[in-house]
Amino acid sequence: MSRKTYRGKYVKRGSTRDMKNPAYAKFRHDVRERDGNACKWPGCGSRSRLEVHHIRTWSAYPSMRFDICNGITLCNKCHKKVTGSEDVFADFFIKILEWNMIEKIKKMDKKKKKDEDG
């Protein structure tokens, strides 16, 4: 088995994450900013203990690790519901991001119309 030690724990190769990697730090920052620094789980909206979830997993989709389209902000509690069932939730999260984008565009259009009328 391809295993190596990481901070004293045995982990699968390729699953280690360097939290200090600038690309990873930027990814986490950008996803949280896009999501308004709140948990995106429907009905939650918590602003504490936020984490960035990878919709397509870190280990199976290396090319999407730092793609903000592949990230969604969840609080620690909601993130736990998903861990281990990432594949089951992937389409659900993609839908949430779609709705968010549609809402953002609607808001922008409303503001634009208001500015033009005013």
Residues that bind Zn ion (CB under 5 A): 39, 41, 44, 46, 75, 78
Of 68 and 78, which CB lies nearer to Zn ion in the complex structure? Answer: 78
Of 29 and 81, which CB lies nearer to Zn ion in the complex structure? Answer: 81
Distance between CA 75 and CA 117 in Å, rounded?
A: 40
Distance between CA 98 and CA 118 in Å, rounded?
A: 30
Of 72 and 75, which CB lies nearer to Zn ion in the complex structure? Answer: 75
Residue 8 burial by Cβ neighbours in a 10 Å radius (0-12, 13-18, 19+):
exposed
Q: How far is the CB of 94 from Zn ion (least distance, A)?
A: 18
Token pair belonging to 52:
């960035």
Q: How far is the CB of 44 from Zn ion (least distance, A)?
A: 3
Q: How far is the CB of 58 from Zn ion (least distance, A)?
A: 20
